[in-house]
Amino acid sequence: MPASPDSDSVFSLVGVTRSFGAVRAVDEVSLEFARGRTTVLIGSSGSGKSTVLRLLLGLEWPDAGEVRCDGAPLQRTRVPSVRRSVGYVIQEGGLFPHLTVLGNLALLPHHLGWNRARIRARALELAELTHLRETQFARFPAELSGGQRQRVALIRALMLDPPTLLLDEPLGALDPLVRHGLQDELRGIFGRLGKTVIMVTHDLAEAAFFSDRLVLMRRGRVVQDGSIEDFRRAPAGDFVREFLAAHRGLPEAPA
233 binding other proteins? (CB under 8 A): no
Residues near other proteins (CB under 8 A), total: 25
Q: Which is nearer to other proteins, 48 or 87 (CB)?
A: 87
100 sits near other proteins (criterion: CB under 8 A): yes
Cβ proximity to other proteins, 62 vs 93, nearer residue: 93
The candidate with the shortest Cα–Cα distance to 199, out of 209, 188, 207, 191, is 207
Q: Using CB under 8 A, pick the residue from 3, 16, 31, 95 that binds other proteins.
A: 95
Closest among 207, 240, 205 to 221, alpha carbons compared? 240
Cα–Cα dist 200/206, whole Å: 10
Using the rule CB under 8 A, is 21 a contact of other proteins?
A: no
Q: Is the Cα dihedral 229, 204, 202, 133 positive or negative?
A: positive
Q: Which is nearer to other proteins, 144 or 216 (CB)?
A: 144
Query: Which of the stretches 125-133, 134-142, 190-198, 232-240 binds other proteins when contact is defined by CB under 8 A?
Result: 134-142
Chosen residue from 59, 121, 193, 245 binding other proteins by CB under 8 A: 59
- Give the residue from 45, 80, 74 showing the smallest Cα distance to 62: 74
Which member of 141, 170, 220, 226 binds other proteins (CB under 8 A)?
141
Please report how close the Cβ of residue 123 comes to other proteins at its closest, in angstroms.
15
- Give residue 9's Cα distance to chain centre: 16
| CB nearer to other proteins: pick between 164 and 224 | 164
Of the pair 127, 144, the CB lying nearest other proteins is at: 144
Q: Does 107 bind other proteins (CB under 8 A)?
A: yes
Write the CA distances from 180 to 46, 177, 209, 214, integer angstroms.
25, 5, 11, 19
Closest distance to other proteins from the beta carbon of 113 (Å): 12
Closer residue to other proteins, CB minimum distance, 32 or 60: 60
The vertex-180 CA angle with 178 and 183, nearest 5°, equals 105
Which of 7, 81, 115, 145 forms a contact with other proteins (CB under 8 A)?
81
Minimum gap (Å) between residue 83 Cβ and other proteins: 3
Cα separation, 170 vs 241, in Å, equals 26
Of 60 and 230, nearer to other proteins (C-beta) is 60
How large is the C-alpha radius of gyration of the chain? 18
> Residues in the site for other proteins, rule: CB under 8 A?
57, 59, 80-81, 83-84, 86, 88, 90, 92, 94-100, 107-108, 111, 140-143, 156
